[in-house]
Amino acid sequence: MRKFDVNTVRKDFPLLARQVYGKPLVYFDNGATAQKPQVVIDRINQFYKEENANIHRGVHHLSQVGTDLYEESRKTIQGFLNAKFSEEIIFTKGTTDSINLVAFGYSKMLKPGDEVLITEMEHHSNIVPWQMACEYSGATCKYIPLNEKGELDLSQIDSHFNSNTKVVAVTHVSNSLGTINPIEKLIEKAHKVGARILIDGAQSLQHFKVDVQALDVDFYVFSGHKLFGPTGTGILYGKKEALDQLPPYQGGGDMIKEVKMSGTTYNELPHKFEAGTPNIAGGIALKTAIDYFDSFDIQELQKYEQELLEYAESEIKKLEGIRIIGEADEKVSVLSFVVDGAHHFDVGTLLDKQGIAVRTGHHCTQPVMDYFGINGTVRASFAFYNTKEEIDQFIQALKRALTMLG
């Protein structure tokens, strides 16, 4: 286990050393994408310089090398999630692609009278695919509402689950609020009525450990780029029996057993859902990213990030005219806020000119913004390579922005 020291860790991430508008970069947009350690960048370069070939189909040496590396990555991810079988790990383009894969399958399996249950705090990527699946199949899409703290309102939880509930899709952590949802309870409720449940883990795995077998979750999805890996990489974990029930998402090479003009038979897992040439370099480098992240004590990183969040919240509360959006009892290191009388875009622009990178807007969670009666927030999201000194710079920049906004 590698000892955590933030100043040492920061040297692993080359982009953190750059300047923006002549100011040192303070990167607080980790909820959108995380920076990449040098080992991940090097691994991508190594593949294209020394190992580049297509995989799974070739008999020549480079193809076999690439295939072995890609499948080693699958096994690493299996271990990272504690999946039972390596074929339960499906490579995708990202969380959005993973959810669409499952939702597309259920659009073929649902029927009128069936219900899909989501929540009011979902990212659009875990709302729209289910609305499309219901529109196609005639099923009904329902949701669990929010409360004023930015948590799920579970006061009437049992009323949301019934014999018609076939699929439940819930985010583990809200990208716009930082709320950690009680997914164990929701998994139990779903299974009690015979429903499958998908958990959107795009904002969770970079903050704490997840064990899919212990959770007994049916589907768990995440994006590689938020876990310090390459963009264009993602994972769908699914219980083998749940994946076997789903029809293929895309047709093409490698997802077939036999193709005749009279019809096609499909391949076994995981290849059934991996049509075409994948992002080979990205998949291999995702292993490198996970190996890097897993070299630390994740509980130690989680504790440090919570210290950053508590410090940022305490400092921002000293400023007048600012309201924090999302004050759940259980949160990851995400700080969303609005400034009285100012547009979030203007605040974000003034911070950017001072070298502070934050996210502004509705964060692809318009129902959340509608609930709070706002059109967007400023969101600062922290990773384990951020520091309290950077938060001080952020607060000073915010003070100057508030003065300019008058």
The reported pLDDT for the residue numbered 335 is 98
Same domain for 26 and 71, yes or no, is no
Does residue 319 sit within a domain?
A: yes
Distance (Å, whole) CA 70 – CA 282: 9
Dist. CA 143–CA 200, nearest whole Å: 15
| pLDDT at res. 33 | 98
- Based on the fold, state whether residues 99 and 202 are members of the same structural domain: yes
- Does 211 lie in the same domain as 348? no
**Measured on CA atoms in the order 21, 25, 206, 311, is the torsion positive or negative?**
negative
> What is the model's pLDDT at position 52?
97
CATH label of the domain that carries residue 353? 3.90.1150.10
Q: What's the CATH number where 131 sits?
A: 3.40.640.10
Query: What pLDDT band is residue 123 in, cutting at 50, 70 and 90?
Result: very high
Q: What is the pTM of this model?
A: 0.97
Residues 338 and 259 in one domain: no
Residue 149 in any domain: the answer is yes
Chain-centre distance of CA 140, in angstroms?
A: 26
Domains held by the chain: number: 2
Same domain for 233 and 337, yes or no, is no
For residue 270, whether the previous peptide bond is cis, meaning omega lies within 30 degrees of 0, is yes
| Of 254, 278, 294, the domain-final residue | 294
The reply to whether 253 and 342 lie within a common domain is no
Residue 130: which of 120, 116, 146, 111 has the closest Cα?
A: 116
Of the candidates 105, 104, 164, the residue with the CA atom closest to the CA atom of residue 139: 164
The rounded distance, in Å, linking the Cα atoms of 95 and 233 is: 9
| pLDDT at site 49 | 98
**Cα–Cα distance for residue pair 34/301, rounded to 1 Å:** 15
**Residue 10 near residue 265, CB atoms below 8 Å:** no
Same domain, 283 and 303: no
**Best CA proximity match to 147, nearest among 373, 376, 374, 371:** 371
Q: What pLDDT, in 10s, does the model give residues 313-356? A: 999 999 999 999 999 999 999 999 999 999 999 999 999 999 99
Out of 279, 294, 309, pick the residue that ends a domain: 294
- Do 49 and 195 lie in one domain? The reply is yes
Which candidate in 364, 374, 395, 405 is catalytic?
A: 364
- pLDDT value of position 21: 96
- Residue 36 counted as domain residue: no
Separation in Å, CA 116 to CA 66, 69, 103, 220, 240: 40, 38, 10, 17, 21
Q: What is the pLDDT of residue 257?
A: 85
For residues 207 and 233, state if they share a domain.
yes
Closest by CA to 343, choosing from 366, 380, 376, is 376
- pLDDT tens column, 25-53: 999 999 999 999 999 999 999 999 999 99
Question: Within a domain: residue 1?
Answer: no
Give yes or no: residues 23 and 150 share one domain.
no
Q: Note the pLDDT of residue 58.
A: 82
pLDDT over 80 at 177, yes or no: yes
Of 294, 325, 356, which one is at a domain's C-terminal end?
294
Question: Is 141 tagged catalytic?
Answer: no
Please, what's the largest Cα pairwise distance for the chain? 72
pLDDT at 256: 82
Residues above pLDDT 70, as percent of the chain: 100
Range of the domain at 283: 41-294
Name the average pLDDT for the chain. Answer: 97
How do strand 140-144 and strand 234-238 relate by DSSP bridges?
A: unpaired
Neighbouring residues of 285: CB distance < 8 A, sequence distance ≥ 6: 40, 43, 44, 47, 229, 230, 233
Q: Is the pLDDT of residue 406 over 80?
A: no
